[in-house]
Amino acid sequence: MPKVLLKSGIRIHYQQVGQGPDLVMVHGLTGNQAVWHLKIAPTLWDHFRITTYDLRGHGYSDMPPSGYSAGDMATDLEQLMDALDIQRAHVVGHSFGADIALYLAYSRPERVHEVVAIEAALPAFIQLRAREDWEGWDYWVQVLGKAGFQVPPERRCDVDYLLRTSLDMPKLWGPLQGLPRNSEPTLRLLDTTTMVEDYEVVGELSVENIPRIKAPVVLIYGEDSAFLGTYNHLREHLPNVRSVLLPHSDTGHFGPLEHPDMVAEHLLNSLRPSAPQRQTDGRVEAA
pTM of the model: 0.92
> Measuring CA to CA, which residue among 135, 133, 99 is closest to residue 227?
135
Asked, for residue 176, whether it belongs to a domain, the answer is no
Per-residue pLDDT band for 5 (boundaries 50, 70, 90) equals very high
Question: Which helix (H) or strand (E) covers residue 13, if one does?
Answer: strand 11-18
pLDDT of residue 274 exceeding 50, the answer is no
**Per residue in 225-246, pLDDT tens?**
999 999 999 999 999 999 999 9
How confident is the model over 173-193, as a mean pLDDT? 89
Question: Which helix (H) or strand (E) covers residue 104, if one does?
Answer: helix 96-107
Asked, for residue 15, whether it belongs to a domain, the answer is yes
pLDDT of residue 16 exceeding 90, the answer is yes
Look at residue 62 in the predicted model and tell me its pLDDT.
Answer: 98
Least confident of 51-60, 119-128, 171-180, 190-199: 171-180
Asked, for residue 135, whether it belongs to a domain, the answer is no
Asked, for residue 85, whether it belongs to a domain, the answer is yes
Asked, for residue 112, whether it belongs to a domain, the answer is yes
pLDDT of residue 287 exceeding 50, the answer is no
Residues sharing a CB contact under 8 Å with residue 5, sequence separation 6 or more, in sequence order: 11, 83
User: What letter does residue 7 receive in the DSSP assignment?
Assistant: T
Look at residue 280 in the predicted model and tell me its pLDDT.
Answer: 35
Q: Return the SS3 of 39.
A: coil
> Measuring CA to CA, which residue among 263, 236, 215 is closest to residue 115?
215
Number of domains in the chain: 1
**Per residue in 242-261, pLDDT tens?**
999 998 877 778 899 989 99
Look at residue 286 in the predicted model and tell me its pLDDT.
Answer: 33
Per-residue pLDDT band for 172 (boundaries 50, 70, 90) equals confident
**Per residue in 17-49, pLDDT tens?**
999 999 999 999 999 999 999 999 999 999 999
Q: Return the SS3 of 2.
A: coil
> CB of 93 within 8 A of CB of 116?
yes
CATH code (residue 24):
3.40.50.1820
- DSSP letters, 158-192, are -HHHHHHHHTTSPP-SSTTTTSPP--HHHHHHHHH
Instruction: Tell me the residue range of the domain where 224 lies.
Output: 3-130+193-286
Q: How far apart are CA 39 and CA 52, in angstroms?
A: 13
Look at residue 52 in the predicted model and tell me its pLDDT.
Answer: 98
Look at residue 125 in the predicted model and tell me its pLDDT.
Answer: 96
Asked, for residue 73, whether it belongs to a domain, the answer is yes
Asked, for residue 230, whether it belongs to a domain, the answer is yes
Asked, for residue 125, whether it belongs to a domain, the answer is yes
